[in-house]
Homo-oligomer: A and B are copies of this chain.
Amino acid sequence: MTTTLQDCRALDAQDPLHALRELFDISEGTVYLDGNSLGAMPRSAPARVAEVVTQEWGRDLIRSWNSAGWFELPRKVGDQIARLIGAAPGTTIATDSTSVNLFKVLSAALRISAQRSPGRWRIVSERSNFPTDLYIAEALCKDKGWELVLVEPHEIADALKDEKLAILMLTHVNYRTGAMHDMAAVTKAAHDAGALVVWDLAHSAGAVPVNLTAADADFAVGCGYKYLNGGPGAPAFVWVNPRHADSCWQPLAGWWGHDKPFAFTPDYQPAAGIVRYQCGTQPMISLAALECGVATVLAAEPFGGMAALRRKSLALTDLFIQLVEERCAGQGLALVTPRDHAQRGSQVCLSRGQGAYAIVQALIARGVIGDFRAGDGAGHPDILRFGFTPLYLGFEDVWNAVEHLRQVLESGEWQRPEFNRQHAVT
C-alpha cells in the first residue's frame, strides 16, 4: 500500500518534535531542503542580534567586552556545541571559519606526528571531500614537503596500510552524497595503523549523533551555518582531544590564544587547552546569531536530543526516498545516498542523466529549495541535493516536496529556458 498525504499528516501529528518548528520562521509555501548549506533563521535571532547591536554595541560600547560577556562568547558557544558532538566542556571553541580552523588542527596534527613518527609524511583524504579541506591540506603539504593522497571511500582501509601515513583527514558526512563514515570504527582503524584522525563535522554537527570522546578522535572542526542554524557565514568551531591540546602551538598564534592576552607581553605564551586554538577577535554579532542557532538544536534535549532528531531525520529521508521511488518512478532519478541508515547523513542526493540543474531551479521556483552540485566528470555525477533538518521539517513537507518534483518532471516544466542558465549557488 502506498503512502498518502493523509499518512504524512498523521506522522506529523504523532511527531513529538513537531512543535520545534515554531522555533523558526519559514515562509508559508516554502519547503526548505537546504539547511545542509545554510540553516534557517531561528525566530529568536532578530531580537537577540538587535540587542547586541543597539544595546551591547550602541549603548554600552567598549564595556560590553566584559559586561556582555563578549570575551567568553567563543568559549561559551563552544561549550554549547560540545553537547552536540560528544565533547567535554572546555574542549571546543566557536571561532573563525572551518577552513582556518582546519589549518590550525592539521598543522598541529602534523607537528605531533612529525615528533612521534618522523618517517610518516602523508595525509590521506577522500577525493570527494569538500574541496576547501583538500586545498588547506594541499597548501600545508606543499609548505612542509608532505604529500596529500586522495582516495575513494572504499580505498581508505588499504590506505591505512601505508607506513608513511601520518594523518587521516575525513569529512564525517560527505557534502555531495550524504554518505556517512562510522567515526568510531574508522578512528580506531587509523589509530591501530599509527595515524592521527582529523574529522570535519560540517554536515554532522546538529544533524547526526556524534561522539568525539567515545570515538577518541584527535581533532575536529565544523561549520556553524549549516545544521547549527547560525546564520550566513557564522563562525565555525574547533575541537581538540585534551591529550593533544597542550602539546604544541598551532601556527595562528594570535592574542586570543595567549595565556594572558591583556598582559600585552611581546612574547607568546599559549593558554592551556583549547583556548590556544583561538587567534584574533571574533565577529560578535554573527557569533550571537550562532548562539541562537545552537540553542534551537539544544531545544531538542528535553525530547531526546540528537538521538530523537536522528530518528526523525531518518524517518524523513526514508519517506523521501520511498515517495520518490513510488511517485517519480520512470523519471530517470537514481539514489546516490546510501540506503543503509548507518551510512546515511541527514540528506538525500539524487542523480539524473540530464537536467539535474534545471530540475533544482524549477523546484526552487515552486518554493522547494534544494540545491545542485555539479559532477566532476570522474565518476561523480551531477546531483540534486536535499537536506532534511528535523527541527523545522515535517512529513507533510516531504510529501509536498516529492509532489512538486513529480509535477516538474511529468510536465517537463524543468525544460523551460529560464531554469537552464547555470548559476553557482553554494
Contact = CB atoms under 8 A, between A and B. Distances in A.
Contacts of A142: 249
Given A61-B38, A284-B233, A285-B285, A264 B96 contact: no
A123 B98 CA distance: 29
A61 B369 contact: yes
A397 interface: no
Nearest to A40: B61
Contact of A61 (B32, B136, B258): B32
A131 interface: yes
A280 B99 contact: yes
B62 A41 contact: no
Contacts of A96: 96-97, 100, 280
A27 B236 CA distance: 34
A285 B286 contact: yes
A100 B254 contact: yes
B131 A266 contact: yes
A65 interface: yes
A370 to B, nearest CB: 9
Interface string A279-307: 11111111101000000000000000000
Nearest to A422: B262
Interface size class on chain A is 35 or more
Contacts of A143: 251
B58 A53 contact: no
Interface in A14-69: 25, 27, 30, 32, 34, 37-38, 40-41, 45-46, 49-50, 52-54, 56-59, 61-66
A338 interface: no
Interface of A: 25, 27, 30, 32, 34, 37-38, 40-41, 45-46, 49-50, 52-54, 56-59, 61-66, 70-71, 96-100, 103, 127-132, 134-136, 138-140, 142-143, 150, 225, 231-236, 249, 251-258, 261-268, 279-287, 289, 364, 369, 371, 373-374, 376, 423-426
A255 B134 CA distance: 9
A134 B235 CA distance: 25
A138 B62 contact: no
A135 B64 contact: no
A34 B61 CA distance: 9
Given A263-B374, A280-B236, A284-B286, A46 B54 contact: yes
Given A136-B254, A139-B252, 7 more contacts: A49-B49, A96-B100, A100-B252, A135-B257, A142-B249, A231-B283, A284-B286
